[in-house]
Structure 1
Amino acid sequence: MSNETNSRTLTFALEVVPVPVTDIDRAISFYTTKVGFDLDVDYHPTADFRVVQLTPRGSKCSIHLLATKSSERLHNLYLVTSDLSEARAELINRGVAMGDARHKDVLEAWSGGWSPGLDPERRDYASFADFADPDGNTWTLQERGHGKP
């Protein structure tokens, strides 16, 4: 086998994240009506088999809803937005219970502390707000690209 570097670069793309839920129909309603995801697939040829895929608008990664009786949930799934204030207000208007906006305290030397509200300079990766789906899977909105075309 040759030690020469292969000119082909291997890449990976995260395309689907499975999200455990107890009620598929309730989850579809929450993610489409309240959060604004697009329903890509709802395939259920039998009572025991169903594939549901939803995609956040503008994302290349989708979620699959997995019916489960388990209490295990996913936490801190990130949705990135260019305007956290607007996104948070829209979700609240749609009926999503949102946490307060917060930003990294002393961004340049951040050590885990938070201050209330948006980052005063609206810097990338500095402002956040959270919500949960009806099953307790948690999502974090993060601002990146505010004011940029």
Structure 2
Amino acid sequence: MLVAWATSLFADHGAHHEPPIPPDHPAFWPRFALVAFLVLFGGLIAGLTLGLMSLNATSLHVLANGGDPQQRKWAARIQPIRANGHLLLVTLLLTNTLINEALPIVMDSMIGGGLVAILASTALIFVFGEIIPQSICARHGLRIGAFFAW
């Protein structure tokens, strides 16, 4: 009963929906690749948000001046980016939001749309775009942040 009610909330009454694209269709694999890219890139951005925002100016200064040679290099690379913390945070959050909003739109044509696309994209984002990247970046934020500090 609850599922029927929730499905009716997301149903587009009266509109004709296209059937899902089968894997043998030429448009399937490019969309699949785009979904994979969006999930992985979103995970990178979520991990960088946690990893870079957890590094404050004082700890970066200490590492840049007193850490081992590799830590000094990484800290020096991150310091200019982290100096504009508000701009960094807005950029990372906006990018992550755009990716997370685009994912169900791309998945809509692949798996039949509506509630299914929302639930599938939510599961992918939760596992591969939040939990795994944040657990990795919480431990290795300095190294990963320096690698992606273009």
Normalising by the residue count of structure 2, what TM-score does the alignment of the two structures yield? Answer: 0.25
Greater RCO, CA 8 A, separation 6+? 2
More helix per residue? 2
TM-score normalised over the length of structure 1: 0.25
Greater Cα radius of gyration, structure 1 or 2: 2
The structure whose residues are more often strand, as a share, is 1
